[in-house]
Amino acid sequence: MKDPFSNIKLELKKQKSLIFWDCETSPMKFWGWRLGEQLITHEQIIEESKIITIQWMFEGHKVEYLTWDSNQNDSNMLEKFSNIMQNVRVAVTQNGRAFDHRVLRWRLNLLNLTPLKNVEIIDTLQLSRTSFEAPSHKLDYRSKAYKMGGKMPMHLIDWINVVNKKPGALEKMVSYACKDVKDLRNIMWKEMPYYQDIPISLATLVYPEEKNNRVFCPRCASYKQTKFDIYPTKIGNKIMYKCNNCNNEWKETRLKV
């Protein structure tokens, strides 16, 4: 079966404008009176979470990563990654809106580092929840369902081992995290034709603005489409298009018919 996104992938590879990324954080340390369910307040914190490792890949490129230094200081890593993100237009994450982007912004803010550029976020967890009635929307489940092997086994003790500098623990976490990014990329492209909606037209990443007067599919950027209906609105009629490449349907924004 032909990949309907092959052309757009080639263009994104050249531009390096779309990034897939993830991060792993250390456990928070705090004082507690007892085991079991209880209220923990900020007054009990000994040390808040830091970012252990950040891993990313641009479309069509290999996975790269950074880690905190030998003193478990994450500032140099965060500054480097924030600079990498300055030329990015779209970031793809799994639960990134609720976690990864917010954690990264907090650490950059706390350490007075270069602010994270505002980018469009494609959150595959949110898109899965709004598009599918799947048994689970977790990355692990979808990786297994799509024959990608699932996540590498990791438990709380593995994060503790990294903090305690156990030999090989950081390397194991990096391998675990890099596979997550590879799976994230493959899952997004696998599910892309079926998403109910995406927050940005990937076609706008591929074509310069001066070419946007032509009608192209907002999902795969193909110029091959069929007009099949008229959609009436209060301010005029809109043409309904169907892409002959990926079967996406959309309403043209121009009102001339």
- Residue 222's pLDDT is what? 78
Q: Structure pTM?
A: 0.86
- Residue 257's pLDDT is what? 32
- Residue 250's pLDDT is what? 73
Mean pLDDT for each 10-residue chunk of the chain (257 residues)?
A: 83 92 97 89 95 97 98 98 94 96 97 94 96 97 98 97 98 98 97 88 66 68 71 67 82 51
Sheet holding 51-58, edge to edge: 64-67, 51-58, 18-25, 90-93, 120-123
The tokens for 225 are 């489409």
* Alpha carbon 142 to chain centroid, angstroms: 15
* Dihedral, CA of residue 137, residue 187, residue 21 and residue 174, to nearest 10: 90
- Residue 210's pLDDT is what? 42
- Residue 201's pLDDT is what? 78
Half-sphere exposure of 184 (CA within 13 A, CB side): 28
- Residue 247's pLDDT is what? 82
- Residue 232's pLDDT is what? 63
- Residue 48's pLDDT is what? 95
- Residue 18's pLDDT is what? 94
Q: Which residues contact 11 (CB under 8 A, 6 or more apart)?
A: 205, 206, 221
